[in-house]
Amino acid sequence: MSYPLRQLEARLQKVVTVISTEIEQDDPKLKGQYVHRDSSGDKFLWGPTPEMHKFHNVESVAEADHIMFLCPACFAKNGGAKGTHQVMVTFAGRNVPEPAGTHDANGQPSRWQNHRRRVA
Ligand SMILES: [Zn+2]
């Protein structure tokens, strides 16, 4: 069975790297980690490196670094979006940092190659 991407709630997104300069001082378990805050100023992510990767929706494939959509197999099994997980496919050649985007079973970045037909 196949579904249009619109029905699978497909979204084109761009990866944006955010650099934190704030280091956790208060929480003893997270002390020394880099802190990221949400738009209301609340801490929501801690990490050993200052970079964090966010995804912004964009309108065109040219701007996009990846596409997200509902898994078509589970969409069919579940009879819709409820309980269906998302699939993410990162495009090759878009300068997506290695820790962001998709990874294979060995933890290596996996990128979707664009197989262009050669025109003779
Ligand atoms: Zn699935």
- Give me ligand 1 centre to Cα 87, in Å: 8
**What pLDDT does residue 85 have?**
96
Please choose, from the candidates 77, 56, 42, 45, the residue with its C-alpha nearest in 3D space to the C-alpha of residue 11: 56
- Give me ligand 1 centre to Cα 103, in Å: 17
Which residues lie across from 56 on neighbouring strands? 14
- Give me ligand 1 centre to Cα 116, in Å: 28
- Give me ligand 1 centre to Cα 78, in Å: 10
**What pLDDT does residue 20 have?**
96
Tell me the pLDDT tens digit for each residue of 19-60: 999 999 999 999 999 999 999 999 999 999 999 998 999 999
- Give me ligand 1 centre to Cα 95, in Å: 27
Coil, helix or strand at residue 52: strand
Question: Is 112 exposed, middle or buried (CB count within 10 Å of its CB: 0-12, 13-18, 19+)?
Answer: middle
Tell me the pLDDT tens digit for each residue of 3-12: 999 999 999 9
Domain ranges of the chain: 11-90
Contacts of 33 (CB under 8 A, 6+ apart): 23, 24, 46, 47, 48
- Give me ligand 1 centre to Cα 84, in Å: 7
Please name the residue that has the structure tokens 């197989």.
115
Residue 1 has pLDDT above 80, yes or no: no
Tell me the pLDDT tens digit for each residue of 66-97: 999 999 999 999 999 999 999 999 999 998 98
Quote the CA–CA distance of 50 and 25 in Å, as a whole number. 15
